[in-house]
Amino acid sequence: MTNLFKKKFIRVPHLSAGNAFKEIGRNAFVDWILVLAISFSVGLGLVAGGAHLYWRIASGAFEVTEPADLSKKTFDREDLTLLTERFQAREDMSIQIRKGYRGPPDPSR
């Protein structure tokens, strides 16, 4: 039965911890184990962080801070005027480009 397992599936190499670090980048099995271990630990950290945040919100320990000074920003007509002039200049340039070349004529003709 062990012979069937070895033929049908990939053989798992027997590596010590010190030897495994030397095999990073050379052995695909070691690389996949490293990718899975890092992914598992990142996922575990995200789940733990989410559970902690949920617990703090559910228990009422989470305090919401108010934005600093968003209400002080008022409508500025000068900024709007500059913006509309900039868009008008772009539109004029676009219209001139669509009309064709309007520069000095080609001297070779």
Q: What is the pLDDT along the chain (109 residues), one digit of tens a residue?
A: 455 555 555 566 666 767 777 778 887 888 888 899 999 999 999 999 999 999 998 898 877 777 666 666 677 888 899 999 999 999 998 998 888 877 777 788 7
Burial of 54 (0-12, 13-18, 19+ CB in 10 A): exposed
How far apart CA 34 and CA 20 sit, in angstroms, is: 10
The per-residue pLDDT for 107 is: 81
| Domain range summary for the chain, segments of one domain joined by + | 15-62
pTM equals 0.46
Tokens 């190499």, residue located: 13
